[in-house]
Amino acid sequence: MALDKVQGRDVGIAIQKTINAALVYALIGCLTDSTFDVDTETDEATCIASGQFKEFIGGQTGWSLGGTLNVRQATNDASGPGATDADDNVTAENLLDIQLSENNQVQVRYRIGSKKGSAWYTGTGIITKSSFKGQLKGIATYAITIQGSGPLVKTLAPA
């Protein structure tokens, strides 16, 4: 079994959306960084017989995703049959629209690697923070935070 290095460009966040009448996961475009945090609470289980060291047991687990992306605008200016570049992308504008909608939950997947057998962690999340930053020089950026709600399901990337 080979151990391959995973480049930063090979990890990322994908959002489930409908493209050409099919549910697919589309990577959030232009991500410059991403985070995937999993936290497990602990409960102290120390008793007198434990001696001078505390003992703990694991509690509930929570997770969140986040990242920063360069802001790009997707327009339907592609040519050819079925060309829908705006529909096939997930942009900062799409994510803000989801957050502002009544149902601000999204099906998300965090991808770790890009090869066959790479881990995908999938779950339902709520977009809790959107932050746009525009400066005089350089590209505008957008930061997002997605709070997980419920379990994560691990699958492996197909060939």
Q: Tell me: the pLDDT tens digits for 53-112?
A: 899 999 999 999 999 999 987 776 656 555 555 666 788 888 888 899 888 899 999 999
Among 18-32, 79-93, 122-136, the least confident range = 79-93
Q: Please state whether the predicted TM-score (pTM) of the whole model is above 0.85.
A: no
- 91: closest CA among 32, 28, 152? 28
For each of the domains in the chain, give its residue range(s) and CATH number, in order of start.
Answer: 25-156 (2.30.110)
Mean pLDDT of 132-142: 92
If you average pLDDT over every residue of the chain, what do you get? 87
Mean pLDDT of 5-15: 86
The pLDDT of residue 49 is above 80: no
CA distance 38 to 113: 18
Task: Output the CA–CA distances (angstroms, integers) from residue 77 to 68, 90, 152, in the order listed.
Answer: 25, 16, 37
